[in-house]
Chains A and B, each alone.
Chain A
C-alpha cells in the first residue's frame, strides 16, 4: 500500500519522475534510467563549457533546514550545469526562526515562481509533506530527511557500484555502522534490493540497528568477520560522536576495534571489494586512513559522480513536472 502511494506521489500520470522523495515506489527500470541519464552527464564536467541548457530559465531553490556543505554544493553545481538559476536559502536565519510555519514559507517561495525545491530537513517525511500538501506544483527533490531517506546519495552510490562492478547481479553488499540513524542506509538498502543484488547485509551492534531491521530486506550480522565474508562492496556509515553520550556505544575505541574498517578487517571481504563511504568520514572512528585512501577506496569518485547523478535527477523531475502541467493545461 505504501509502495503504491509512494509511486503515485513521485510519478506523473505518464509514469515519469516528477518528485524524487524516496527510492520506495520506484521500479528497477526507473532507477536504471536515472543511472543511464547520469552516464550521459558524466562527461559534461570535462568539457570546456561545463553546461547544458536543459534547465534554462528554471529556478531551483536549495532549502537546507539542516546544515550541509557537500550535498548542497553538489546540488548547486548540478543545477548550474543544467543552466538553472539557483537560490540558496539559509533557513536558520530566515523565516522559520521568526515563527513563520514551514507551510507558509514554502507557499511564499512557490508564489515567487520557483520551479524546484531541493529540501533537506531534520524531520523524516518533511519532503513528502511538502510534495503532498504544500507545493504539489513544484518539483521536490529530497536531499535527506531525518532518518528516513537520502535517495540521491543512494543513487550516486548505485552509480559508483555500477561504474566499478559493471552490474548488480550476484553482488554481496555490506553496510556497516550506525544504521539506526542513517537515512543513507535506508535508501541504499531499498535501491540495492530493487536493482537486484544477491544480498544486502548490515553489520552493527544491536544498539545501532532499528527494530525489525530485517523487514527492510537485509541480513543482520554483529561481527565484521561474518558480515564482510565474501562481500563485493563495503559501505561504511558515518558515526556521530553524540552516540557515545546517549548510551548507544561505550567508546570510539571499542567501536573502532569491532566495527571499524581497517586493513585487517577489510581482509574478510573479497580481494577486489569496493570501499565506499557517504562522507564526511571520521578517520580512525569508523575507517582507517590507509583504507580510506587505499586502492580499493572509491570515496572520492563517489563525490565526483554525485554531480552527474543529481543532474540526472533534477532534469528528469523537472521534465516530468513540466509534462504534467502541460497535460493538465491541455485538459482545461
Chain B
C-alpha cells in the first residue's frame, strides 16, 4: 500500500480514504497531504507538492489518531510486563497516537523525576505520545498531598490515586481543593476499599457459585457519590475512569445535568463482557473493576451512546504469563487491550449501538475533551497524528499476532473485524500493516 520505505518525516499523501474527523465534523472521501509533520492540504495537493510517501487508503477510514485515557506500560518498575518500547509499539498498531499512563508504577509518579524518566524514555524509544497521570497523594499512600503543581509543570495531564484508597474524605477534599487551585483534573477509579476488601469478582451469581471473594457494586457507586459531592463543594473537574456499573452511569448523568464538570470513560471490555466471562475460573477475565452483570453492561452501553460516557479506553494492563497462571484470586487483574481497542469498538457499530462517526468521537474528541487539550484534528496547519483503518479486515487474536508483551486477553483465539493499516504520528509513519 505504500511507496518508499522511509520512516522519517517526509512529504506524504494519504489518498482515497474516508476522512472521519469529529474535530471538524467531517465525514467525506478526501486526500490528505502532509509536509514537515504538518497537514498542508485536504483535497488537491498544493502546487509543487511532491509526495515521497503515498498511502493508499481506499475503502478505509482515515481519522485522527486515538487517545487512550488509560494504558499501563510496565515502565518503570514492572518491565517483565512491558516496556515503553513494546507497549507504545502495540499502541500504534492499535491506532493509538496518544495514551495516558496511570501513576501506579514503581516508583509511583509522584515526583518530577519519575515524570521526566517516562517522558525521556518515550522520547528515546516511544512510538506515540505518552502523558503520565500524576499521583494525587505522595506514594499513592492516600495521606499527604503530592507536589501537584510540580507534577503538572513536568508534564502530568491529570492526577489520580489509581486504585489506592485516600485515607479520609478530609484528605480527599484537600486534594481536590489544591488540585483545583492549579486547574488540574482529577481522574478517579471509584472504589470504596472497605467494601471491596479481599474481593476479586463481582458480587453476584457467578462469584457465589464459584465461591470467590467478591466486590459489591456499592464499592463503586458509594465512591462515585462521595466524589461528586466533594467535587461540587470544591469546584474540581472530575473524571471517572473505567466505571463498571449502570448505577454509576446514572449518578454521573445526574451530576452532568446539574451542570457539574464531570466526565467518564469506560474500558472497552466492560461493554462486551460480563461476570459470566470469569466462569470456570478464567483468570483472563479477572480485571479491576470486575466484570459485572449483563444489565450493567447494557447500562454502560446506553451511557456511551448518550454521551454520558465521553471516552472508551483500552485500560491496557499487560502481564507476564506467570501473573495469570495461578488460582483465580491470586492472579493479577487486567487485560492487554491496546490492540483490540479498535476492532472491539467496531463491534458496537456492527451491533447498532453507535454509528461509525460516534465511535470515532469516543476514541478521539471525547478523550481529548476530557484532557482539555486544544486540538483541531485533521485540519490544515495541524500536526499529522492520524490512523488509517480497514473496518472490514479480519484477523485472529493470538499470542503471535499481539505485539504487546502482555498476551493476557480473554479474546485470545477470537476473530476480529477491523484492523489498523497505518498510524502516523507527527507526520511520521510509525506503524504500517
A219 to chain B, nearest CB (A): 15
Q: Is B216 an interface residue (CB 8 A)?
A: yes
Asked if A125 and B328 make an inter-chain contact with CB atoms under 8 angstroms apart, the answer reads: yes
Q: Is B203 an interface residue (CB 8 A)?
A: yes
Asked if B204 and A125 make an inter-chain contact with CB atoms under 8 angstroms apart, the answer reads: no
* Residue from the list A124, A149, A215 in contact with B327, Cβ < 8 A: A124
B residues whose Cβ falls under 8 Å from a Cβ of A: 203-205, 207-214, 216, 276, 279-281, 322, 325-330
- Looking at A87-95, A206-214, A258-266, A300-308, the stretch in contact with chain B turns out to be A206-214
Asked if B326 and A6 make an inter-chain contact with CB atoms under 8 angstroms apart, the answer reads: no
- Per-position contact with B for A137-152: 1 when CB-CB < 8 Å, else 0? 0000000011111000
Residues A129 and B210 in contact in the complex (CB < 8 Å), given A5-B279, A6-B280, A212-B205: no
Please measure, in the bound complex, the distance between the C-alpha atom of A129 and the C-alpha atom of B203, giving whole angstroms: 21
Q: For residue B280, which residues in chain A have a CB less than 8 angstroms away from its CB?
A: 2, 5-6, 9, 128
Determine the residue in chain B with the shortest Cβ distance to A6: B280
Please measure, in the bound complex, the distance between the C-alpha atom of A102 and the C-alpha atom of B325, giving whole angstroms: 9
Q: How many A-B residue pairs have CB under 8 A?
A: 79
Write 26 A-B pairs (CB below 8 A) sorted by A numbering. A2-B279, A5-B279, A5-B280, A6-B280, A101-B325, A102-B326, A103-B322, A121-B327, A123-B327, A124-B329, A125-B212, A125-B329, A129-B281, A129-B328, A146-B212, A146-B329, A148-B212, A186-B211, A211-B203, A211-B204, A211-B205, A211-B207, A211-B216, A212-B208, A213-B208, A215-B205
Asked if A125 and B210 make an inter-chain contact with CB atoms under 8 angstroms apart, the answer reads: yes
- Per-position contact with B for A75-119: 1 when CB-CB < 8 Å, else 0? 000000000000000000000000001110000000000000000
Please measure, in the bound complex, the distance between the C-alpha atom of A42 and the C-alpha atom of B205, giving whole angstroms: 38
**Which of A103, A125, A186, A210 has the largest count of B CB atoms less than 10 A from its CB?**
A125
B327 to chain A, nearest CB (A): 4
Please measure, in the bound complex, the distance between the C-alpha atom of A149 and the C-alpha atom of B211, giving whole angstroms: 8
Identify which of residues 267-303 in chain A touch chain B, using a CB-to-CB cut-off of 8 Å. Answer: none
B293 to chain A, nearest CB (A): 10
User: Would you list the 3 A-B pairs with minimal beta carbon distance, nearest first?
Assistant: A148-B211, A147-B211, A123-B327
Q: For residue B326, which residues in chain A have a CB less than 8 angstroms away from its CB?
A: 101-103, 129
Residues A1 and B212 in contact in the complex (CB < 8 Å), given A101-B322, A103-B325, A129-B326: no
Q: For residue A211, which residues in chain B have a CB less than 8 angstroms away from its CB?
A: 203-205, 207-208, 214, 216
Residues A123 and B216 in contact in the complex (CB < 8 Å), given A1-B276, A148-B210, A216-B209: no
Asked if B208 and A125 make an inter-chain contact with CB atoms under 8 angstroms apart, the answer reads: no
**Which of A6, A24, A121, A147 has the largest count of B CB atoms less than 10 A from its CB?**
A147
Identify which of residues 1-38 in chain A touch chain B, using a CB-to-CB cut-off of 8 Å. Answer: 1-2, 5-6, 9, 24
B175 to chain A, nearest CB (A): 29
Determine the residue in chain B with the shortest Cβ distance to A179: B208
A residues whose Cβ falls under 8 Å from a Cβ of B: 1-2, 5-6, 9, 24, 101-103, 121, 123-126, 128-129, 133, 145-149, 183, 186, 210-213, 215-216
Asked if A123 and B210 make an inter-chain contact with CB atoms under 8 angstroms apart, the answer reads: no
B280 to chain A, nearest CB (A): 5
Please measure, in the bound complex, the distance between the C-alpha atom of A125 and the C-alpha atom of B200, giving whole angstroms: 13
Please measure, in the bound complex, the distance between the C-alpha atom of A102 and the C-alpha atom of B331, giving whole angstroms: 12
Asked if B211 and A1 make an inter-chain contact with CB atoms under 8 angstroms apart, the answer reads: no
Q: For residue A101, which residues in chain B have a CB less than 8 angstroms away from its CB?
A: 322, 325-326
A25 to chain B, nearest CB (A): 10
A140 to chain B, nearest CB (A): 13
Determine the residue in chain B with the shortest Cβ distance to A1: B279
Asked if B204 and A124 make an inter-chain contact with CB atoms under 8 angstroms apart, the answer reads: no
Asked if A124 and B279 make an inter-chain contact with CB atoms under 8 angstroms apart, the answer reads: no
Asked if B210 and A133 make an inter-chain contact with CB atoms under 8 angstroms apart, the answer reads: no
**Which of A2, A5, A24, A216 has the largest count of B CB atoms less than 10 A from its CB?**
A2
